[in-house]
Amino acid sequence: MINMMREFRKHVDATSEDVGKDFAEEARKIHYKETEERGIRGQATREEAIELIEEGIAVHPLPVLPEEGN
């Protein structure tokens, strides 16, 4: 299972842009077509994630791997 999660994370890292703490803002811009559509990843607070979901913006947490200090 851990190896599957590692492979998934490698894929996500290779096919998305890390927008860091600007995740919620960038996700909204993409959703409302204010910027180009692309895969992004980053950090969002619990409240930000709930708000995004309520707006109809799909978000998914990434698995934390053991080597990341879990």
Q: Is residue 16 part of a domain?
A: yes
- With beta carbons less than 8 A apart as the criterion, state whether 65 and 5 touch: yes
Q: Is residue 67 part of a domain?
A: no
Q: Is residue 42 part of a domain?
A: yes
C-alpha 34: how far from chain center: 18
pLDDT digits (tens, 9 = 90+) for 12-66: 999 999 999 999 999 999 999 999 999 999 999 999 999 999 999 999 998 888 8
Q: Is residue 65 part of a domain?
A: no
Domain boundaries, position 25: 2-60
The reported pTM is 0.86
Q: Is residue 66 part of a domain?
A: no
Q: How far apart are CA 48 and CA 59, in angstroms?
A: 10
For the chain, how many structural domains are there in total? 1
Which residues contact residue 18 at a Cβ distance below 8 angstroms, ignoring those fewer than 6 apart? 40, 41, 42
